[in-house]
Amino acid sequence: MEALTIIQKIAVFAIPILFAITLHEAAHGWMANRCGDKTALMLGRVTSNPLKHIDPMGTVLVPLLTFFLSGFIFGWAKPVPVTWRNLRNPRRDMALVAMAGPGANLLMALGWSLLILLGVALLPDYKWAAVPMIYMAGAGVLFNSVLMVLNLLPILPLDGGRILNSLLPPKFALAFSRLEPYGMIILIGLLISGILGKILWPLVTLVIQILPGSEIVRQIF
């Protein structure tokens, strides 16, 4: 596959990144509603409409800056509000709500990987449609895999931190929760130092390898 220019990359990456971030948040709201908390539903956040989830800084500005400065895309959408007191079983349900986001990313990665196979099947007769489809689908697989793995890191306020907090005994969970104000500082420090990439990429590669069309993704990126 041919290398993409910067403009082509932005065009190909925009839709997969937008939906990877926003549907991740919508999944949290959907699961919270299933578990008894209708806060996100009443605020209109249980929707696939990206406009309901976009954070101008985290969904637009930061991803563009990190892409141009480092080639690595980092971003977030507006967090979905969850009122834990409304959950039927708060400790268990908070873990389920947290898992819903990465779970949505895994399903999207699978869906994009199947679209790669469709694109390959259209070659060479419909190259004009197949090539953009393959590139966009490859980006979808990559970014959903990255977002899933990143959010499963056991650091608050990431989903992995929420899951771990729900599994810990109450005494240890309380102590762990006190680290949350420093979570983003820790994450940014790991990103700047390069440690985050060393942790993420082997796991992301493993996820991609189990999906259909993994060879195409590796050729593109």
* Active centre residues (catalytic): 25
> CA-to-CA distance for 87 and 8, rounded, in angstroms?
44
Q: What's the count of helices (H) and strands (E) in the chain, helices before strands?
A: 10, 0
Q: How far is CA 22 from CA 1, 28, 67, in A?
A: 29, 10, 19
> CA-to-CA distance for 161 and 30, rounded, in angstroms?
20
How big is the CA angle at 117 (ends 113 and 118), to the nearest 5 degrees?
115
> CA-to-CA distance for 143 and 147, rounded, in angstroms?
6
C-beta separation of 19 from 111 below 8 A? no
Other C-beta atoms closer than 10 Å to the C-beta of 99 total 20
Picking from 75, 105, 87, 107, the residue whose alpha carbon sits closest to that of residue 31 is 87
